[in-house]
Chains A and B, each alone.
Chain A
């Protein structure tokens, strides 16, 4: 291919020609391009000096940049820059910022906290985080619980009482709900009668004859239900025996079905098998007194308290 056929006399080419007339321009890069490269080299050197860079055996060069924080024990710690120390610094800083609020919580009475708008806001946010970390696995994120497993904390029924002091007691010492299995003591027919009576108490469809017999059985020494649930069936808060006359179901999953037989069957199953799974752990020692106080007010707020 002759020189004349090569294009462009103004822009120089590399001098190659492929397939006859394919050529490559030889335009130089603008010089700022190479300056940018030098700038990145300088940047990397500054970076080595400031941040941890080279490993030396099991150690490394820490760099000039340091992170200083005061830990929960009040000791000042200094590390060369690393993300773990950065996190610890943030956490300790946040804890220090929260401290005045927690101090306020421990110095105020429950009633004062509940009436102070600023503290109320703090309880709602701090309580939500504490609840989500510690309580939500059983009681669910919103405190609604799970029927037949964990009590609903958002309704107005309080098994052990809904005052600040009672909630505090529950949190500190934990609770254990227990009901014996009556299938060992009573005949299937008697359990059926009791189940119909309990359904009647809550205004659910039932067999009137069986319910009448159940009423007698409930108050008899044979079944002795009234020992715990009391003779008016409204339960006893001192031992956490539930109120059987309201619309709230803890163990028998009555709301799960619309059919009356299904509801009675759910009650029957609880009477027959009893339950030994109502365990709430004690939180004293696991959480700080202030945290338990925050949770007490938070849980009180969830269901409106008593």
Chain B
């Protein structure tokens, strides 16, 4: 579980996060949404420990970020899994080497045991028979699956995803969304996703945090987002005619 208490972050004179508080639960998929420039990336990077907020705290299962030393943070990061927007796979390494990398770095397991674990997670993300391929030989969706496999190979407590669907076709997006949701529930991970994809918001958002101008403007579940009267959320989420009609239909039915 991650508890965010009133965090502020500025770059020079620009205040990007202006006091955000929220909670991300274990085994739930939480989504951060908002317009470009709302502070989503800075918020996610703050959760990852790549930015240090000037004010406020982030508590990870009782561990307070402000009380951690650099070494504590390095150790703590081994509990994190991250799926980057561009996958960020090591392009000079094969799929197998990419996924095995955290195991080599942080465990003393023999090679056979590591390989067994790698094959297990690759199977879990439906990517068998690609062990010896390089990232450049894979499609965008396959690269994302490798990134997810690498993120979960160490059994992380927290999984962060930055726009996991960007650049993917709709059917692959749904596959990736469902995979993240299944893994989150199966392994009881606290998952936080930064997204612009409204399908993800509707489909997998156990909790949605809407940011506007560095502030939390709204939070709730994917069901609540249909009913909300918050005009900022309505304008953002239901900006397309299709989603407007979906919302109208939902409200008429309920």
Bound together: no
Q: Which residues of A contact B (CB under 8 A)?
A: none
